[in-house]
Amino acid sequence: MPAGVGRQARGRYARMRLSGERYRKAGCGPQRHTGGAASQAEIELAVAERVKKGQSIYEVDEALLRELAPDVILTQDLCAVCAPSGNEITQALHALPSNPEIVWLTPRNLNDIADNIRQVGAISGCSEKAEEWIASYFGAMDEVARVAAGCATRPKVFCMEWLDPVYSSGHWVPEMVRIAGGIDKLGRESEYSVPISWNDVLDWAPEILILMPCGNHLDKVMELAPQLRLREGWFDLPAVRNNQVYAVDASSYFARPGPRVLQGVELLAHLIHPEKFPWQGPASAYRRFI
């Protein structure tokens, strides 16, 4: 988010983070119950059941929203699981005495993320800062792509966006892999992440395997990862044989379409081509899974 926009924010969704600026704002979107689900398989089942019934897994604090009386509401209609989306926002609007401007942010790739930043900059009077951010961050990504293009190899990568069931990566993540100098043929660029067969992973035989279950920070990913050892053929994967399996802080660097996608690209470049891209970010960004 462009510098300066955060100072105008009155409320935020619980997972919201602002790169470079940290604010404590009133939370408007607590998560609903998912039946006490704990494992990834149980969460998947509970969420699917609620979506099938037309129920949301989030709720908006309407009383707090009335108190905040926003002029503009930034929301998304990309994923009903990741954050409050269309239905919740439409219902919440009935609680407001005024009619705030609703800005729908639905990015599917890196260019869309840039357009969203430009859009937020325009409505908040920060267009110049937004353009500065876009030029700086996307210029840095272009430099990563330039260096990666000169590497002798483009390793086979698989980014696993959910562990049980196994999901391929989608939206902007396969594009990030490509920029970083890898190939992920199981990923779906600019499209939704989808469940895939474990045999698809075995057939792809990735040389580098990156565990990034959506919405999870590194410690949680490391807690979940051991279940993969129980899958048939796990120890035959080239990435496993060569100790090239990594758990990453998915929530910070990959799941959120914002400023940190640049650090996500740099992290992928380091994991794919460590000889060309030293990691200069926090140690909590990734860990080798053995």
Name the residue ranges covered by the structural domains of the chain: 6-106, 130-288
Q: Are 238 and 110 in contact (CB under 8 A)?
A: no
The arithmetic mean of pLDDT across residues 219-229, rounded, is: 97
User: How much is the pLDDT for 9?
Assistant: 54
Residue 85 has pLDDT above 90, yes or no: no
User: How much is the pLDDT for 171?
Assistant: 96
Residue 94 has pLDDT above 50, yes or no: yes
Tally of CA atoms within 13 A in the half-sphere of 133 that contains its CB: 26
Minimum mean pLDDT range among 76-85, 176-185, 237-246:
76-85
User: By percentage, how much of the chain surpasses pLDDT 70?
Assistant: 78
In this structure, whether the domain defined by 130-288 belongs to CATH 3.40.50.1980 is answered with yes
Split at pLDDT 50, 70, 90, the class of 80 is low
Q: Mean pLDDT in the chain? A: 85
By C-alpha distance, which of 116, 88, 84 is closest to 103?
Answer: 116
Within 8 A by CB and 6+ apart from 139, the residues are: none
User: How much is the pLDDT for 165?
Assistant: 95
Q: Which residue has the higher pLDDT, 42 or 135?
A: 135
User: How much is the pLDDT for 20?
Assistant: 39
Distance separating alpha carbons of residues 73 and 57, to the nearest angstrom: 20
The arithmetic mean of pLDDT across residues 152-172, rounded, is: 97
User: How much is the pLDDT for 13?
Assistant: 44
Quote the tokens at residue 260.
Answer: 């940190």
Statement: the pTM of the whole predicted model exceeds 0.85: no
Q: Which residue has the higher pLDDT, 112 or 103?
A: 112
Q: Which residue has the higher pLDDT, 56 or 115?
A: 115
Distance separating alpha carbons of residues 67 and 194, to the nearest angstrom: 39
Split at pLDDT 50, 70, 90, the class of 22 is very low
The arithmetic mean of pLDDT across residues 157-174, rounded, is: 97
User: How much is the pLDDT for 18?
Assistant: 39
